[in-house]
Chains A and B, each alone.
Chain A
Amino acid sequence: MEYSEKVMDHFLNPRNVGDIPDPDGTGEFGNPVCGDVTQVHIKVKDDKITDIKFKTFGCGAAIATGSMITELAVGKTLDEALAITRDDVADALGGLPPVKLHCSNLAADALYAAIQDYQAKNKDV
């Protein structure tokens, strides 16, 4: 099994790692297949994601997809961010080995969960 150069880059130098002290939305998703977990925090202003941070307990692909999704989502409107699919993440990374495709679920679903968390908290606004 071989990871693409992009995957290795994001695995070794993950972007936007960490927590946001006072996040507007937080999401966590655990992969039922392997037990790995990704967590996403977002800051939202004027319906746009202004800041995003992630953490991952998982394999190389899980870490790289977490990093990549933060890059894809930042600056997007919530609807645009919700439209990011796991295939988009895998494509942006130059593809994932077939056994690792399920790993890209983690990042996408954690992002959806963070957005939903934000929307639930801001229903009445």
Chain B
Amino acid sequence: MKQIYLDHAATTAVDREVMQAMTPYFTERFGNASSLHTLGRDANQALTRAREEVADAIGANTEEIIFTSGGTESDNLALRGVLREHKGHIITSSIEHPAILKTCQYLERIGCDVTYLPVDADGLVDPGDVESAITRETRLISVMHANNEIGTIQPVNEIGAIAADHEIPFHTDAVQSFGKTELDVRKMNIDMLSLSSHKIYGPKGVGALYVREGLKINPLMYGGSHEMSIRAGTENIPGIVGFAKAASLACERFKSDTAHLMKLRDMLINGMFDSIDDVFLNGHQAKRLPNNANLRFMFVEGEAMLIHLDLKGIAASTGSACSSASLDPSHVLLALGIPPEDIHGSIRFTLGRENTEKEIKYVLEVFPTIIEKLRAISPLTRR
């Protein structure tokens, strides 16, 4: 059975054009970008071009892009790169990706202070809270651009302006928003920004950290003088070339992609509301990624829904932890103030470029029956 893949926030398939761009760099153009011979220079040119493409995609200068192994490393590098030698205070939100939250917990263990800002019921950080959390010790503000579970888009413009006023560097994790929302690091007063390739139809294991010129950060990795001496290690040229191709395709197709995604997303959300009772949307209705539909169905549990969907050939994901090794309910949905038993009924559909209206129609056809079936055996069903 052909899978209907509605889990693009988890990862995406590599685009054919991206694949084509990468392929020669595995075999005939395999040089090390540090080598002086022709093959090396060829690899170095590819690296420079890739850097330009990624920089252009976010309005940065070429030398402000540091290639990494992905979003997780970029987040680690941003936080630990700023705070490791100058212990101090960092402000973040309570709904960040674990790549930020776990790094913050580590920083606390080595003597830093962290403020985890609350969010409102839609998942929004209040920029006023950011401003009031600032102390004389604050070294960094890190608030994600768009949330991976609920798709809520934060007011990064306002937060960036506040950070700039106080001359505190501002980092944002744009792994989920890249290619789906406008991104301009200059206009948005962003000093550091994390990107990942595999969420934008590029290969896995590649990403970048943008670091504004003049901001000094410490490396996590010591070795050769690659990547402005901030990230040692022979560059993953095929991966980087693929990432850059994916980034420029994302820019090229931005208008049509977002329009397509929004149309399908709204069709899915409205269709669910029309055919099923006791359903809620998790996250903000408008300030939301064009491809995210995170829905909460009362009286049913996420994993049970997922298995039924999987048997119908539909791949989605759950905010409920019952499907993963950890049984704790999602920290994001908890932060919205949703009771834990309701959190269990949450399911996340994240759409992608290749999804079609026909696929959404099929989902809307089979899903009500799944909910009906599960509610029939649930002791919690409204009596």
Residues of A within 8 A of B (CB): 1, 3, 8, 11-12, 14, 17-18, 28, 33-39, 55-60, 62-63, 99, 102
Contacts and interface: CB of A to CB of B under 8 A. Distances in A.
A57 B322 contact: no
A56 B377 CA distance: 6
27 contacts: A11-B307, A17-B377, A28-B379, A33-B327, A34-B327, A35-B329, A35-B340, A36-B322, A36-B344, A37-B380, A38-B379, A39-B379, A55-B377, A56-B377, A57-B299, A57-B341, A58-B304, A59-B301, A59-B322, A59-B323, A60-B303, A60-B304, A60-B307, A63-B304, A63-B377, A99-B327, A102-B327
Interface residues of B, number: 22
Given A11-B304, A35-B344, A55 B322 contact: no
Contacts of B341: 35, 57
What is the interface of chain A mostly: helix, strand, loop, or mixed?
mixed
Choose among A1, A3, A11, A57 the residue with the greatest number of B CB atoms under 10 Å from its CB.
A57
A59 B380 CA distance: 14
Contacts of B377: 14, 17-18, 55-56, 63
Q: Which of A35, A38, A55, A62 is packed against the most chain B CB atoms within 10 Å?
A: A35
Nearest to B380: A57
Contacts of A59: 301-304, 322-323
A57 B378 contact: yes
Interface in B315-368: 321-323, 325, 327, 329, 340-341, 344
Given A11-B307, A59-B322, A36 B379 contact: no
Contacts of B307: 3, 8, 11, 60
B299 A17 contact: no
Contact of B321 (A1, A34, A56, A62): A34
A62 B327 CA distance: 13
B7 to A, nearest CB: 16
A57 B300 contact: yes
A1 B299 CA distance: 24
B221 interface: no
B95 to A, nearest CB: 20
B99 interface: no
B304 to A, nearest CB: 6
Contact of B379 (A1, A33, A57, A60): A57
A101 B322 CA distance: 12
B325 A58 contact: no
A69 to B, nearest CB: 14
A69 B297 CA distance: 27
A36 B301 contact: yes
B10 interface: no
A36 B304 CA distance: 12
B36 interface: no
B301 A58 contact: yes
B376 interface: yes
Nearest to A62: B301
A28 B376 CA distance: 17
A52 B376 CA distance: 17
Contacts of B323: 1, 59
Contacts of B327: 33-34, 99, 102
A58 B345 CA distance: 9
Contact of A55 (B303, B329, B378): B378
